[in-house]
Amino acid sequence: MSSHKAAAVVPIITSQVERLAIIDAPKEAHQHQHHIHRLIRKYSSEKDSDEDNLSDDGNDDACCPRSPVTCGPSPAVEKGHGLSRLLRNNKAWSKAIRERQPDFFEKCSQGQQPKVFWIGCSDSRVPENELLQLAPGEVFTHRNIANVVVSTDLNCLSVLQYAIDVLKVEHVVVCGHYGCGGVAAALGDHSYGLIDHWLGNIKEVKQQHREGLDSIQDTEEKCRALVEINARNSVLTVAKSPIMRAAWERGQEVEISGVVYDIKTGLLSELGYHVKSEKDLNAHLKVESKDLFANRAQ
């Protein structure tokens, strides 16, 4: 593998294994380096690499296991199949975790106790566990196009209810992100088919804040503003739900916050929308649209 490819792969592996804080004790330096180099070979993007086409134990079929219960009639996938590569990556990842903490997956199988419920965009560039530096089991997640929360979406509300009533999360985070394709599409007047129905929710937010948005001349900056306002709207919709109001009434401590992710920098910023009570909600609802744009550079 070339040096620049190796450099690109190392952060991926370390982010999946080491920085998830599941390591009880550091390995010896030479053992650690050997382990990393072996994983680099597994994650190499060179399809013709001999190492990439071999499983850890030399068994070609071992990298693409079949479920013993629901084994379907389709033939086994070959080495060049896209699914084969995904399964090999998963095998390498699982093995790396187990080598560092043998009982990690056993503990995961016993249940989840996340403190954070994340409502984000489906965009593949916004991986919540990665950017929050949290391990599997620490973030409960719901994602959709443009992180929209509406009172008629039973899918989102069902996940919210489970997060609040069953998992007892302490923080609901609504995350928008700059460069959001759904928000950009909602700014225009083009038709995209079925997704127009979903984008209608963002268009309503745009209409509610049209004066402030129209005062922004730069198209990219206008899109960034709508990303923030759309996240704010989702925060308030969560806060207005019967689920949240019932939780606060019974004294459950849970806060809703709005953040935005900048894909260009990899950084999160808080938006100043924090709601942890009915009183906070009422205060946010009293803020006029023009005041939300007061500090934005023209």
* Binding region: 121, 123, 177, 180
Annotated catalytic residue within 180, 209, 223, 224: 180
Q: At what angle do helices 29-42 and 82-100 cross, to 10 degrees?
A: 170
Q: Following DSSP, what letter does each residue of 32-93 receive, concatenated?
A: HHHHHHHHHHHT---TT-TGGGS-TTS-GGGGS---SSS--SSPPPPTTSHHHHHHHHHHHH
Known catalytic membership, residue 180? yes
Known catalytic membership, residue 123? yes
Annotated catalytic residue within 63, 85, 88, 123: 123
Annotated catalytic residue within 125, 165, 218, 262: 125
Which residue numbers belong to the known binding site for Zn(2+)?
Answer: 121, 123, 177, 180
Known catalytic membership, residue 296? no
Instruction: Pinpoint the alpha helices (H) of the chain.
Output: 3-17, 29-42, 82-100, 104-109, 128-132, 154-161, 181-187, 195-208, 210-214, 219-240, 242-249, 278-285, 289-292
Annotated catalytic residue within 177, 209, 224, 232: 177
Annotated catalytic residue within 64, 121, 156, 223: 121
Known catalytic membership, residue 61? no
Question: What are the catalytic residues?
Answer: 121, 123, 125, 177, 180
